[in-house]
């Protein structure tokens, strides 16, 4: 077994999470701009709009700021925001989602990133996110502990597609079998990484029974579990 030389991390719900749900944020912004909605209505319209909009709109790929303008306009309209206030509401949403105060960093993250660096591993983020993710991670104080940040908006490809993982491998300079990707989503993170030839681990922070993962894929309670996985592969490679 080859040792792990690079660790790739998902961003949302892996490194950090929103302090309140996105549907709450959409409802608050809509209501503050002349709309009338609650969390459930916002979640419903957000989910349907995401499913119905194509991944590319006028050349703007999903998760990019330009794509989100179309997404937000449609959702906010359905939440009752008047046409004359849609732009202001859209900008308010962008401000909320680019503000580090909107999120909370999981408590173990800084120490885990430091330890991985001390062990000589290359650590990067691979996320379905807008091109503003590097600015957000800088504001959260962790960008300096990362070698690179690959976003779907930048790549015009999103997890679970191979291309975004292959870009991360190129940035890390390692073959797939020497990279471990860790994220909270079974399809995008785990199956996506496995499909690109990487190792994978699922982080499941929920109380109760852990999420079922493919055979051989570890399920971690938090990111501290990465350190044990790295140690195991190091020992196995020397055996």
| CATH number, position 89 | 1.10.150
**Rounded to an integer, what distance in angstroms lies between the CA atom of residue 236 and that of residue 2?**
8
Same domain? 116 vs 228: yes
Q: What is the mean pLDDT of residues 183-191?
A: 97
The pLDDT score that the predictor gives to residue 213 is: 86
What is the reported pLDDT for 99? 97
| Domain CATH for 216 | 3.40.50.1000
Structural domain containing residue 60: 22-101
Mean pLDDT along residues 61-87: 97
67 and 127 housed in the same domain = no
Q: Of 72, 101, 130, which residue constitutes the final position of a domain? A: 101
The bridge status of strand 6-9 relative to strand 179-183 is parallel
Higher pLDDT, residue 223 or 209: 223
Q: Please tell me whether residues 60 and 166 are part of one structural domain.
A: no
Predicted confidence band of residue 183 (pLDDT cuts 50, 70, 90): very high
Please give the pLDDT value at position 1. 75
Instruction: List pLDDT tens digits, range 140-170.
Output: 999 999 999 999 999 999 999 999 999 999 9
- Helical ranges in the chain per DSSP H: 22-31, 39-52, 65-78, 86-97, 109-118, 133-139, 152-155, 162-172, 192-195, 225-238
pLDDT digits (tens, 9 = 90+) for 10-50: 999 999 999 999 999 999 999 999 999 999 999 999 999 99
Q: How many domains does the chain have?
A: 2
What secondary structure letter does DSSP report for 135? H
Residue 1 lies in a domain: no
Q: Are residues 121 and 216 in the same domain?
A: yes
């Amino acid at each position: 077994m080859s040792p792990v030389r690079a660790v790739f991390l998902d961003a949302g719900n892996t490194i950090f999470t929103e302090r309140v749900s996105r549907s709450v944020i959409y409802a608050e912004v809509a209501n503050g701009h002349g709309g009338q909605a609650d969390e459930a209505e916002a979640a419903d319209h957000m989910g349907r709009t995401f499913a119905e909009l194509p991944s590319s709109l006028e050349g703007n790929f999903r998760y990019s700021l330009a794509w989100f303008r179309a997404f937000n306009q449609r959702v906010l309209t359905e939440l009752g925001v008047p046409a004359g206030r849609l732009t202001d509401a859209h900008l308010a949403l962008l401000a909320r989602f680019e503000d580090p105060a909107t999120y909370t960093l999981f408590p173990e993250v800084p120490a885990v990133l430091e330890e991985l660096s001390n062990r000589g591993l290359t650590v990067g983020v691979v996320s379905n996110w807008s091109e503003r993710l590097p600015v957000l991670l800088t504001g959260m104080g962790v960008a300096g502990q990362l070698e690179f940040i690959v976003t779907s908006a930048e790549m015009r490809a999103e997890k679970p597609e191979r291309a975004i993982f292959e870009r991360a491998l190129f940035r890390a300079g390692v073959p797939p079998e020497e990279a471990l990707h860790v994220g909270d989503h079974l399809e995008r993170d785990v199956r996506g990484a496995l499909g690109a030839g990487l190792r994978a681990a699922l982080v499941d922070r929920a109380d109760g029974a852990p999420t079922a993962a493919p055979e051989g894929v570890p399920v971690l309670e938090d990111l501290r579990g990465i350190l044990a996985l790295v140690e195991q592969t190091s020992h196995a490679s020397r055996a």
